[in-house]
Structure 1
Amino acid sequence: MTQDARLQRWFVDEVLPLEAPLTRYLRRNWRVEADIVDLRQDVYEAALVGASDTLPRHTSAYVFTIARNLLINRAKRARIVSFEQMAEVEAADHTVDLLATERHIDAREALRRAGEGLAALPPRCRQVVQLRKIEGLSMREAAERMGVGIDTIERQLVLGLRAMADAMVGGSGRIKRTPPARRKQEKRR
């Protein structure tokens, strides 16, 4: 893939989805409503030019930093720098960072709970979940590797994922099996 194609793909996949929060940020921090569309386009242009050599790791932080700097530069050029406007721009920047930090903490906590739930599974069930969901094997590949039938893989996967979900929301994380007679009734439906 050429650098231009990667840049376009990055812009479409990661920058454009930020349009709504970026527009809200610009509206909150710029007093002239008629300038918002132009400001957003300037942010997009600066993001593309800045990322032309190397794509940024954290697109959201990158785009909002560009927006913040653009607002500061515009305010300085217009010589209508009110202390109140500058304070709002500075305060809003910290809010973006706090939200990103909070999302990272939440994601790490969810990953920790998922790991604990996986570790609590019986060995066979844990192996099925690992093969299917972590290694990405198909049902057939997992069945061949374990030397069992596809129906066993399906059943163990369902039981394992239910137990992990239960553990992640604070439950016991124990496998709850349905009695064989009830399973037959459910299959008939």
Structure 2
Amino acid sequence: MPTEFDDWFVREILVHERALALFLQRNWPHRDELHDLRQEVYARVYEAAARGRPTAPKAFLFTTARHLMTDRLRRSRVVSIEPVGDFESSNVYLIDEVSPERWMGTRQALTRLAEALDRLPDRCREVVWLRRVEELPQKGVAERLGISEKTVEKHLAKGMRLIADYLYGGDAAHPAAAMDEDDGQGRRQQAD
């Protein structure tokens, strides 16, 4: 027995069946999937509308169709990772045992990088850390530190240059003493 909700669905959603079919035909390249696609759109709209009816049913229907097509395209681009054949015979080592020399070399490189970061002027170090380690966008760094994006850009460029100088220029390079620091307000101040 049809409910009031079913009547709403017929009146507000199914009335657009022809337009939806044309929309899917224009936008979905696999003709053999159109019927299933349309039914899945209806199922999604029905489930979502049962929780709360949309204020613009037609727009909701077509937005749902667009999202469904996007989801299917994303899923079709996912590459399955399944082992093919025997790796033993191809001399591919799946487990890379780390030699003590390699482990020590990596540890030394990380120590030098930490030293280079510690030698940066304070504001410059904050910007490099937020951009390169925490991976915040430039705008996010500027907002967090209360400085302009241009200042973030300058600090990042200076910091990366000073780190490179320290790592590749030897112990003589001392980044903190090498530069004056911009305080973020356009004023220069001597680095500590």
Normalised by the length of structure 2, the TM-score is: 0.43
The structure that is helix-richer by fraction is 1
Larger Rg: 2
Normalised by the length of structure 1, the TM-score is: 0.43
